[in-house]
Every structure is written in C-alpha cells, then in structure tokens.
Chains A and B, each alone.
Chain A
Amino acid sequence: AQSVTQPDIHITVSEGASLELRCNYSYGATPYLFWYVQSPGQGLQLLLKYFSGDTLVQGIKGFEAEFKRSQSSFNLRKPSVHWSDAAEYFCAVGDGKSSGDKLTFGTGTRLAVRP
C-alpha cells in the first residue's frame, strides 16, 4: 500500500528565508506525487505535481520540488518565504490509475512565518 511521511509537524521560518519541507513516500511503481497547500477555512490548492520526466518541477507561488527516486523523497522548496505562505502543506501520492486519482496524503506540515 502506498504511504506518505511528512516528518515535520511544525516549521517556523523568518520572512525572506529559504524553506524546505520534507516528504518521503512508499509506492511500488513510479509514483504520481503532489504538493497541496491549505489555508485556514480554504480548500486544498495544488502547488505542483510530478508524473515523469524532469525530476525538478516548478509550481505556483515560486515553489519547486525535486523527485529523488533513490531516497523516495519529494521535498518542497522555496528560496524566499513570504508571510502569505503561512499555511499547512500536504504531500500526496496518487496511484494514477484510469479510475481516477485516489490520493494518499501525509499528515501535513504547518508553516509559520516570522516577520
């Protein structure tokens, strides 16, 4: 069965500092990987996704993530964090079957941004 681990429950960074959120997955085949962001009272918004090809993927809001098969990781990065990035971030793996994306989510990392 597929699974996702986000080892950091809470992270606090200063505005303007760089950010890296960790994600490790377990999946038998080549995974479909996603990062979502959830702000309070809002739905989940897709930041970026990886299916195949270039292992460094660019997303919205200046985020990027790198797929490393050897480490079973898909860490999210941003060079300079803005106060508006404070939110909860979820990594997810999809089975990519024709019946639809049954996503398995991690437990999330809550990001706080110091002014």
Chain B
Amino acid sequence: GAGVSQSPRYKVAKRGQDVALRCDPISGHVSLFWYQQALGQGPEFLTYFQNEAQLDKSGLPSDRFFAERPEGSVSTLKIQRTQQEDSAVYLCASSLAGPGGKLFFGSGTQLSVL
C-alpha cells in the first residue's frame, strides 16, 4: 500500500481481555516501531524491529505487552489481560533502514479499556 496501515482503527475491550493490534508497514521498509500515545501526551517508544528481529523492547510497560514480526513485514502488538491504563492510541511507524531514516507513521489504533 501507499502508507503504513493499522487495524483496527478503534478497539474497545473489557478489562482483562486480550487484544491484538496489527501493523502493515510500507513494503520494503526494514525498520518498524511501535509507540504508545496517551491522551494529551506525546508518543512514547515501545519496541523496535529490524526485519524480523526485535532489537529493542525496552519501552514495553509490562510483560503483558508482546510484539512480533515473524516474517519481517506485518507486525502484531498483543496486550494480554488489558487494564484501564492501557487505554491509548498505539502508533506504528516504519522506515527504510538505519538511524535518521524518515519515519512513516500509521494513523494508529485507539484502544479503550472499560
């Protein structure tokens, strides 16, 4: 596709449910990032992939958060046993490679945990 695609656009979950958020990066982009943006805040780094390798997961807030990119393309961010504090917009971004590369962001998935 022309840009980074994320689905679903909106997700409502009951507390304790598991959710899976999908990111389709721009074709050929090596690097993929997940960010979390709480209401009224700037995005915060969650994790980074280079191809299928997860090179940095230092931003994942707890072991309930898990991300994968098994074939080096599509990525899934999974949140187990969701909590109210997980409510946020989850942004995915991709870039060609290396530091300083232009990041292309998706429109995000807005997660609301009730």
* A70 touches B (CB below 8 Å): no
Q: Which of A11-19, A61-69, A76-84, A97-105 contacts B (4 or more CB under 8 A)?
A: A97-105
Do the beta carbons of B103 and A46 come within 8 Å of each other? yes
- Closest A residue to B3 by beta carbon equals A43
| In the bound complex, CA of A67 to CA of B3 (Å) | 30
Contact of B45 among A46, A104, A107 (CB under 8 A): A104
Do the beta carbons of B56 and A102 come within 8 Å of each other? yes
* B4 touches A (CB below 8 Å): yes
B57: shortest Cβ distance to chain A, in Å? 11
* B1 touches A (CB below 8 Å): no
* B83 touches A (CB below 8 Å): no
B107: shortest Cβ distance to chain A, in Å? 5
* A96 touches B (CB below 8 Å): yes
Number of interface residues of A (CB under 8 A): 28
User: Quick one: CB contact mask for A32-53 with B, threshold 8 Å, 1 for yes?
Assistant: 1000100001111110010100
Please, which residues of chain B bring their CB within 8 A of the CB of A108?
40-42
Do the beta carbons of B42 and A43 come within 8 Å of each other? no
Do the beta carbons of B42 and A42 come within 8 Å of each other? no
- Closest A residue to B55 by beta carbon equals A99
Do the beta carbons of B55 and A100 come within 8 Å of each other? yes
Do the beta carbons of A100 and B105 come within 8 Å of each other? no
Name B's A-contacting residues (CB within 8 A). 3-4, 31, 33, 35, 40-45, 48, 50, 55-56, 59, 91, 93, 95, 98-108
Can you show 25 pairs from A to B with CB atoms below 8 A apart?
A: A32-B99, A32-B100, A43-B93, A43-B105, A44-B91, A44-B103, A92-B42, A96-B99, A99-B56, A100-B50, A100-B55, A100-B56, A100-B98, A101-B31, A101-B101, A102-B56, A102-B59, A103-B35, A103-B43, A104-B45, A105-B44, A107-B40, A107-B42, A108-B40, A108-B42
Extra contacts, 17 of them, besides A43-B4, A101-B103, A108-B41 (Cβ < 8 A), are A36-B105, A43-B3, A43-B107, A44-B93, A44-B105, A49-B100, A49-B102, A92-B42, A95-B99, A99-B55, A100-B55, A101-B31, A101-B33, A101-B95, A101-B99, A102-B33, A107-B40
